[in-house]
């Protein structure tokens, strides 16, 4: 399993790249002061996550979900059972969430605290009806809202292409230097910044809603090949 680590003043962000069918990227946030850990979108390997957290001398206290899809939530109940960790999810995601534990809901702009580490919630519906991203110092954890030079589909319950366009406009405001961390390792590289994605990710480059809807629908119907590398505006127009 590939592991990438970023150490900041207040926290360490560790990303586990799970080489299963879905190539999930699991994010662990370790707050230095409190020795608390939050896991983002836990799936498939509950015991592996707990062992890794314990080996580092931390305690899992929080489970942060970006959206309801099972390949991002199927270990949440087990982890909550074993640790008592609090599950956090966007308030608009509740109609589809299949979790037995009570959850804490958050809204756009709300601050989620982990010891001395704070993350700002960004509401980004489209891939799902109530998907959210977590913005930490120098890092943006997006689930399936964005991939490296790509993005999630809008075809499952709650998905909405027009809302997805508005979410992309919101994400364009994120600082260019912020590292982008996605829910799947589907792109041509592991590390990328928001600046790099704004310049070459079609979902961020397209600047009008009509073209965006046409592009996303074309992707969903298999009419457009999945972009795994940067695209220029001219290349995007040719695909449209």
Q: What is the CATH number of the domain that holds 116?
A: 3.60.15.10
Local confidence band at 223 (pLDDT 50, 70, 90 cut-offs) = low
Per residue in 22-38, pLDDT (tens digit) is: 678 999 999 999 999 99
Local confidence band at 227 (pLDDT 50, 70, 90 cut-offs) = low
The confidence score (pLDDT) of residue 19 equals 66
Instruction: Please give the Cα distance from 128 to 183 (Å, whole number).
Output: 14
Tell me the C-alpha to C-alpha distance, in Å, between residue 64 and each of 118, 148, 181, 223: 12, 21, 14, 34
Question: What are the CB-based long-range contacts (under 8 Å, 24+) for 8-12?
Answer: 8/136, 8/137, 8/138, 8/139, 9/137, 10/115, 10/116, 10/117, 10/137, 11/114, 11/116, 11/117, 11/136, 11/137
Residues 47, 186, 107, 117, CA torsion sign: positive
Instruction: Please give the Cα distance from 170 to 178 (Å, whole number).
Output: 14
Question: Which tokens go with 14?
Answer: 């560790």
Per residue in 117-126, pLDDT (tens digit) is: 999 999 999 9
Provide φ and ψ at 227, rounded to 5°: -75, 125
The confidence score (pLDDT) of residue 143 equals 96
CB atoms within 10 A of CB 225: 9
Which residue has 């009806």 as its token pair? Answer: 129
Question: Which tokens go with 23?
Answer: 């190539």
Local confidence band at 86 (pLDDT 50, 70, 90 cut-offs) = very high
3-state class of 79 per DSSP? helix
Helices (H), 38-91: 46-55, 76-83
The confidence score (pLDDT) of residue 18 equals 75
Cβ within 8 Å of residue 221, ≥6 positions away: none
Instruction: Please give the Cα distance from 160 to 177 (Å, whole number).
Output: 28
Domain range enclosing 87: 2-239
Give the count of domains, the chain: 1
The confidence score (pLDDT) of residue 165 equals 98
Among candidates 49, 107, 71, which has minimal Cα distance to 62?
A: 49
Local confidence band at 226 (pLDDT 50, 70, 90 cut-offs) = low
């Amino acid at each position: 399993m590939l592991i990438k680590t970023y150490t900041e003043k207040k926290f360490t962000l560790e990303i586990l790249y799970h080489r299963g069918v879905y190539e999930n990227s699991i994010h662990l946030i370790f707050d230095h002061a409190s020795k608390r850990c939050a896991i983002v979108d836990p799936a498939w390997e509950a015991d592996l996550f707990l062992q890794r957290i314990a080996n580092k001398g931390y305690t899992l206290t929080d489970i942060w979900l970006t959206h309801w899809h099972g390949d991002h939530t199927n270990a949440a109940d087990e982890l909550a059972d074993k640790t008592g960790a609090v599950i956090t999810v966007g308030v608009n995601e509740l109609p589809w969430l299949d979790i037995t534990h009570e959850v804490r809901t958050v809204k756009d702009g709300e601050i989620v605290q982990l010891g001395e580490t704070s993350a700002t919630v960004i509401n980004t519906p489209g891939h799902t009806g109530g998907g959210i991203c977590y913005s930490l110092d120098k890092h943006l954890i997006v689930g399936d809202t964005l991939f490296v030079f790509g993005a999630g589909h809008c075809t499952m319950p709650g998905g909405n292409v027009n809302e997805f366009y508005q979410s992309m406009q919101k994400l364009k405001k994120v600082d260019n230097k912020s590292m982008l961390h996605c829910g799947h390792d589907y792109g041509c590289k592991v590390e990328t910044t928001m600046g790099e994605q704004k310049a070459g990710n079609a979902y961020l480059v397209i600047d009008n809603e009509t073209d965006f809807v046409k592009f996303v629908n074309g992707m969903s119907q298999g009419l457009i090949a999945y972009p795994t590398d940067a695209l220029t505006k001219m290349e995007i127009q040719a695909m449209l």
